[in-house]
Amino acid sequence: MDRFQLYIDGAFHDGAARFPSLDPATGTPWADMPEARAPEVDAAVQAAHRAFTSGPWPKMTASQRGRLLLKLADLVAEAAPDLARLETRDTGKIIRETTAQIAYVAEYYRYYAGLADKIEGAHLPIDKPDMEVWTRREPVGVVAAIVPWNSQLFLSAVKLGPALAAGCTVVLKASEDGPAPLLHFARLIHAAGFPPGVVNILTGFGPTCGHILTTHPRVAHIAFTGGPGTARAVVRNSAENLASTSLELGGKSPFIVFDDADLDSAANAQVSGIFAATGQSCVAGSRLLVQAGIKDAFLARLKAKAEAIRIASPDEMETEIGPLCTARQRDHIAATIAASVARGAKLVTGGAALPGPGFYFPPTILDCSAAPDAPALADEFFGPVLSVTTFETEDEALAKANDTAYGLASGVFTRSLTRAHRMIRGIRTGVVWVNTYRAVSPIAPFGGHGLSGHGREGGLAAALDYTTTKTVWLRTSDDPIPDPFIMR
């Protein structure tokens, strides 16, 4: 089997133990992975701390840091085909998606390369004479960055890029499910010339790796992407070191279609929003709210498109849906569908795992119009399952869209500009797409609230999350400071 290593303090290591990684297309082991435990985690954090406090990294100018990020961007672009093949093999994500996404990941590093020397402080018009006062934006220190297996190179870029631009050092933990792309990415960090310890890359399991990392006393900030359950543990862990946190969590994003929408365009966007990446995306448009008068016509369009999707091996460019990443995810989806049907939801298409090897699940549409308490409307599937409900009025659409503990993304399809603006104001999500879906850019902040987390990734806002403000007071008078105990 292929063999991978940890990356600590500028060198590659085997780790405390080894574990197999399964190919989701076959369900069989294909690679031998290193497992980081307490000694390796401590070594990585200590290396990051040394790199932050001494050596070449803190002496570099912001422009020099930017040039290293630019070199990394070029290496990512060059290695994109290899990284894409690894991600497809280890996670089951289809090759046409990994190829396109990883090629674009390079743009995030280019963006933050350019931003590195544009993180500014400010001069304050202070209300005291003979004083000059200004603020400096300085790096927070060692960052623990934790990413899941899905879109991991992208989710790493939106943490590494701004953290390194700000001058932090990083310990990046890849998921134990499908870590191969990030362990290979360590070779690009090495080749780009980052000083030892600036970036360290581990993988391992929650209790023996993630817990140790997020409670480590030298960690100053935790950037986490994953589910709300694990996020709660991360926040509890941060009480040990009082690290600040930025959390990008799950979603149950409403996809709202009004009767004046371009239905063909909306259907294409809905198919992309829920079935792309086999539905394994935090921004999946998994909750369709369709105006009652067009429900049947719109569902007929979606059903035809869903049943025409090509399900096959993820390494074929013609494949449109591949396997789920893990067997437990497949089983979770099947159980949630069964519970929803028991509450009165009706299957429009799909609904059962496919036979044979691998963790395949077909595109599924579940009509929950008569089952408002179906788990499918509240719980995140993280798979290719669309839950459908209807609305009559704009106010009802808004109420149903906001009837969730999540608040990550939303989509609105209408030809009415005034209605679009009302919906934008009313929907409580961090991202609103109007007449489009799943558009992202390194320039635009991304994130949510509620069970979808806090903090932002992308744009200048992300870089500021990795800084702390220092206020500087400079007395400009040459006169001696008066003795405070002599009354005048």
Name every residue whose Cβ is closer than 8 Å to that of residue 66 and which is 6 or more positions away in sequence. Answer: 112, 113, 114, 115, 116, 117, 165
Q: Is residue 209 part of a domain?
A: yes
**307 lies in some domain:** yes
Which residues does the annotation mark as catalytic? Answer: 248
**Res 253: pLDDT:** 96
Contacts of residue 23, Cβ cutoff 8 Å, sequence gap at least 6: 29, 30, 89, 90, 92
What is the per-residue pLDDT for 487?
73
92 shares its domain with 239: yes
Q: State the Cα–Cα distance between residues 70 and 67, nearest whole angstrom.
A: 5
Beta-carbon count within 10 A of 270 CB: 27
Tokens standing for residue 469: 């403000």
Q: Which residues of the chain have pLDDT under 70?
A: 488
| Residue 6 placed within a domain | yes
Residue 104 sits in the same domain as residue 11: yes
Q: Are residues 70 and 47 located together in one domain of the fold?
A: yes
Element (H, E) at 79: helix 62-91
On whether both 206 and 339 belong to a single domain, the answer is no
Cβ atoms 402, 414 nearer than 8 A: no
In a domain, 267, yes or no: yes
pLDDT at 150: 87
Q: What tokens appear for 267 in the block?
A: 């259907």
In terms of domains, do 350 and 219 share one?
Answer: no
In this structure, the answer to whether residues 73 and 177 fall within a common structural domain is yes
The answer to whether the pTM exceeds 0.85 is: yes
Total domains in the fold of the chain:
2
> Do residues 369 and 341 both lie within one domain?
yes
What is residue 58's predicted lDDT score, i.e. its pLDDT?
A: 98
Q: Are residues 312 and 369 in the same domain?
A: yes
Residue 106 included in any domain: yes
What's the pLDDT at 16?
Answer: 87
CATH number at residue 428: 3.40.309.10
Strand locations in 254-300, DSSP E?
Answer: 254-257, 287-291
The verdict on 314 and 229 lying in the same domain is no
In a domain, 441, yes or no: no
293 assigned to some structural domain: yes
- Beta-bridge partner residues of 75: none
Neighbours of 90 (CB within 10 A): 29
User: Are 273 and 236 in the same domain?
Assistant: no
Residue 485, phi then psi, degrees to nearest 5: -105, 5
Q: Give the residue numbers spanning the domain of 263.
A: 254-434
pLDDT at 488: 64
- The confidence score (pLDDT) of residue 175 equals 96
Assign residue 126 the CATH number of its domain.
3.40.605.10
Distance CA 346, CA 397 (A): 21
* Distance, CA of 449 to CA of 430 (rounded, Å): 7
6 and 135 both lie in a single domain: yes
Is 440 domain-assigned?
A: no
Instruction: Say yes or no: 59 and 111 in one domain.
Output: yes
